[in-house]
Structure 1
Amino acid sequence: MLESTEHALFRRIAREQAACRVPSLVAAVVRDGEIVWSGGRGRVGGETPGTDTQYRLGSITKTLVATAVMRLRDEGRLDLNDPLEKHVPGTPFGSATVAQLLSHTSGLTAESPGLWWERTPGADWDALVSSLDGGTTKHRPGAKFHYSNLGYGVLGELIARHRGKSWLAVVEAEILGPLGMSRTTPHPVGAHAEGFAVHPFADVLLPEPSPDAGAMAPAGQLWSTVNDLGRWTAFLGGATGGVLAPSTLEEMRTMVTVDDTDVWSIGFGLGLMLVRHQGRRLAGHTGSMPGFLAVTLADPAAGTGALALANSTSGVGITQLCLDLITMTDELEPRVPAEWLPSPVDPGLLALTGLWHWGPTPYHLRVQGDGLLLLAPADGAGRGSRFAATGEDTYRGLDGYYAGETLEVGRNAEGVATHLDLATFIFTRTPYDPAAPVPGGVGSWR
């Protein structure tokens, strides 16, 4: 990156470290799947922390657990609408679905019963489940967003039962290994930052504990580095490396529920936190454990992401720092648009393009370079969706109002396309073509 950009980014993390009194802080910017800038401030063992210094990820661990669950779904081992009881019987909240657990809409209590799990050695699954009762459910499943660390402890057990080994072994074999994240571990190994609480009224530190969380470990156990978290940030932005199908990642990044219901800025998909900021829609997660704060966010549309790791229990605006690094990068070094090139199109699809009408409302049907159809109002306002072929003259909606709906092409005896049937709505070449089904033959324009 330009020297001026690097200076601006470094100054931003230096300001955060100094103003918030952070023992140490590391950060990086990711573009097109690669770390393009990184920086560190403060001291770890008397040295400036680097890209291989481990920090605790906290709840970013949940994004890897969610990915392991989605891999099970893609293999047909479970359905997201399955009740938990089908896969992990014996809990008092077995009616909650897998999707609800992933999206924090299961209604489960935020924390596990007993002692503060983040600061005490964790129990195993049998001990955890024996401590649960009917009061563990605080809201009707599906009723609202209620963040639940307990829900991810449960998902870790679901993974273990399907794979016949621990959730951690599954994540290591199926995600960390393929992505080359060799420095992401359940406990610190080699160079790592110690977790601290910073006194609110004096410049002194208190070491924080980092016990094994046991059955609650899927909620926040892992440690990682800038290098490894950079690979994960790239994954969240779309560089899936074969770990997930791109369509599955997109599903995880799709809004399920919002945290702030007035004008949403933070919400959740399937295991991923979603952030809306200055016209951007970013996906990732924050992390918080005693002595540590972490964040990773990626803007798939821009191809830019960022991450930050700090060894302080609180007091750092780490999410805003991450957003600032992304915004600054794209403002100081705006991306050059990809070069447009013509691409071959099936003549049959080409014949479908052009003007169609939903009643009196004009729509345009276009073929995109990726072979998808885009049906959208001619004036740009209203319901529009992309469609992918599922068979001869049948297409499935990918997004927008018609996501999941079926579009069928109607033809006359000569094989000419006469109308489009989209979830029973009829689109015709002229407004209310009387020869088309519903509402054909109702009269003439006058």
Structure 2
Amino acid sequence: MTTSPDGLLPTTRRALLHRLAAAQTDGRAPSLVAAIGRGGTTVWEGARAAGPLPGETQYRIGSITKTFTAVLVLRLRDEGLLDLGDPLEKHLPGTGAGELTIAELLAHTGGLAAETPGPWWERTPGALRPELADVLGEEPFRHPKGRVHHYSNPGYTLLGALVEEVRGARWEDVLREEVLEPLGLHRTGSRPQSPHAEGWAVHPWADVLLPEPVEDLGLMAPAGQLWSTTGDLVRFGMFLARGDERVLSAESVREMRTPAAPAAAADLAAGTSYGLGTQILNLGGRTLIGHSGSLPGFLAALFFNPEEDVTAVVLANCTSGPLVVGVAAEFVRIVAEAEPRIPEPWRPAPRVDPAVLELAGPWYWGATPHALRLTEDGGVLLGPLNGWGRGSRFRARPDGTWVGLEGYYAGEVLRVARRSDGSVSHLDLGSFVFTREPYEAGAPVPGGVHPEGWRGSAAP
């Protein structure tokens, strides 16, 4: 990936620099660095610092590490080594939290505590917690499993241990071999490598600094250990948006960024939800997907908007101060509004299965008109014509059926029913019958319904 200083218009670049400068000044951050990715490349980089900081300077990224760990777990699933519905005990016995499913751990719905027992794990050596029992403590649960989304750092320690158990290698070694090296993230790792920023606390009432300690988190590493750069994180964000067959398919990264946890009322009001290792924000009508992170001395945010193909990364070397998530969201907004994404040119499909093409067009669920369209990825989209109601994309399965990918029909099976002569009779979607005519006579329930058929006026 190359860096293009002219990737954005001068007015856009100045707007980004102004927002970055204001955030660094108002947030009183020793340094603030940022980058924007679009179209598979970095199109803008900016830095505001007390001293010279090269664009490849490492910062600690805290909980963005969890998204990397989630990628490793999804890889195990895609290889058939585990299922997300498996209880942890099946692959990692003896933890005391074995009844939790892998999906519940990924989505923070297992009910585990947010933190380890004291002392505070972010400011103490990982050697103080040599075993998983030290991470979970005597009372690891705070909520019934599967009922609520309760963010849990120990939950991702369990996922890191799961990766090590199944792979038979250290978490950080698996991460480097399976994710960092294939994606070219050469400046991302568990320990800082020069040049790297120093972490600071800024006094709340005076312009003075206090150095923050840098601890090796030990078993907690899969929850927050990593260091990275703006360049590497832009690459990682674009991977999460598009997928990469060397690491995870587009379908699997789409699954990661699909809401997987029940949202509390406060989260619904704030427009936030959680997928499988990703945070999902709805700000100003725009969806942002990624993760935030913090550790003593550092703040980090990585978010992308799939519709506008904009990835924003913001890193700071202070414990508190600039609201990096808000800055990242502003960066996405600035680029999306100033330079809307130019649609890809329309091109005819290289090949279309005639049996699938035959399904395209209008269908009726009872008297409600729907349309079935073929999608670029070889799937189909079935939804109401008025834009309201239930609709979904569907992926083809080898047996000739289709499986729903989102919303009400996620996981539901769409079947094509044919007559004895091979012609299409109707579509069956989880027992809902779609016909070519409203209440088509001769179709299964609810076909025809009344023997007198349609009439011109209602009976008095």
Query: In the alignment, which residue of structure 2 is the partner of 1:245?
Result: 249
Q: C-alpha offsets along residues 260-297 of structure 1, whole Å, 9 cap, x if unaligned? A: 34424221100111111122222110010000000100
* 2:18 maps to amino acid: R
Worse-matched range after superposition: 6-15 or 126-135: 126-135
Asked if structure 2 preserves the Cα contact closer than 8 Å seen for 1:123 and 1:214, the reply is: yes
Asked if structure 2 preserves the Cα contact closer than 8 Å seen for 1:251 and 1:270, the reply is: yes
* 1:197 maps to amino acid: A
The structure 2 residue matched to 1:445, chosen from 441, 454, 460, is 454
Q: C-alpha offsets along residues 124-165 of structure 1, whole Å, 9 cap, x if unaligned? A: 775341564451111111111111111111111111111111
Asked if structure 1 preserves the Cα contact closer than 8 Å seen for 2:117 and 2:137, the reply is: no
Shift of 1:355: 2.0
The structure 2 residue matched to 1:38, chosen from 35, 45, 53, is 45
Shift of 1:50: 2.6
After TM superposition, the score normalised by the length of structure 2 is 0.92
Map 1:83-98 to 2 at 5 A. Answer: 83-98=87-102
Asked if structure 2 preserves the Cα contact closer than 8 Å seen for 1:355 and 1:364, the reply is: yes
Q: Secondary structure of 2:24's partner?
A: helix
Asked if structure 1 preserves the Cα contact closer than 8 Å seen for 2:243 and 2:249, the reply is: no
* 2:392 maps to amino acid: S
1:106 aligns with 2:110: yes
Shift of 1:418: 1.7
1:312 aligns with 2:318: yes
Asked if structure 1 preserves the Cα contact closer than 8 Å seen for 2:363 and 2:434, the reply is: yes
* 1:79 maps to amino acid: D
Separation of aligned partners in 1, 2:290 and 2:240? 7
Shift of 1:439: 3.1
The structure 1 residue matched to 2:122, chosen from 118, 122, 126, is 118
Asked if structure 2 preserves the Cα contact closer than 8 Å seen for 1:428 and 1:436, the reply is: yes
How large is the RMSD of aligned CA atoms in angstroms?
A: 1.7
Q: Secondary structure of 2:207's partner?
A: coil
Separation of aligned partners in 2, 1:159 and 1:382? 40
Q: C-alpha offsets along residues 321-374 of structure 1, whole Å, 9 cap, x if unaligned? A: 000111101111222222122224333323222222111112122223333222
Q: C-alpha offsets along residues 189-222 of structure 1, whole Å, 9 cap, x if unaligned? A: 1111100000001000000001101111111111
Asked if structure 1 preserves the Cα contact closer than 8 Å seen for 2:33 and 2:230, the reply is: yes
Separation of aligned partners in 2, 1:307 and 1:165? 30
Separation of aligned partners in 2, 1:232 and 1:369? 24
1:332 aligns with 2:341: no
Shift of 1:400: 2.8
Q: Secondary structure of 2:355's partner?
A: helix
Using a 3 Å threshold, how does the CA distance of structure 1 residues 232 and 370 change in structure 2: closer, same or farther? closer
Map 1:23-422 to 2 at 5 A. Answer: 23-43=30-50, 46-47=51-52, 49-123=53-127, 126-130=130-134, 132-240=136-244, 242-257=246-261, 258=263, 260-343=266-349, 344-391=351-398, 393-422=400-429
Separation of aligned partners in 1, 2:267 and 2:295? 26
Q: C-alpha offsets along residues 223-254 of structure 1, whole Å, 9 cap, x if unaligned? A: 11112112111112214352101111111100
Q: C-alpha offsets along residues 379-431 of structure 1, whole Å, 9 cap, x if unaligned? A: 22111112222246522222232122111112222221121111111111122
Structure 1 stretches lacking a partner, 5+ long: none
Structure 2 stretches lacking a partner, 5+ long: 1-7, 456-460
Separation of aligned partners in 2, 1:9 and 1:376? 39
Q: C-alpha offsets along residues 281-314 of structure 1, whole Å, 9 cap, x if unaligned? A: 2211001000000010011222111001000101
* 2:189 maps to amino acid: T
Shift of 1:76: 1.1
Asked if structure 1 preserves the Cα contact closer than 8 Å seen for 2:21 and 2:48, the reply is: yes
* 1:375 maps to amino acid: L
Asked if structure 2 preserves the Cα contact closer than 8 Å seen for 1:365 and 1:374, the reply is: yes
Separation of aligned partners in 2, 1:261 and 1:229? 26
Using a 3 Å threshold, how does the CA distance of structure 1 residues 393 and 186 change in structure 2: closer, same or farther? closer
Using a 3 Å threshold, how does the CA distance of structure 1 residues 53 and 13 change in structure 2: closer, same or farther? same
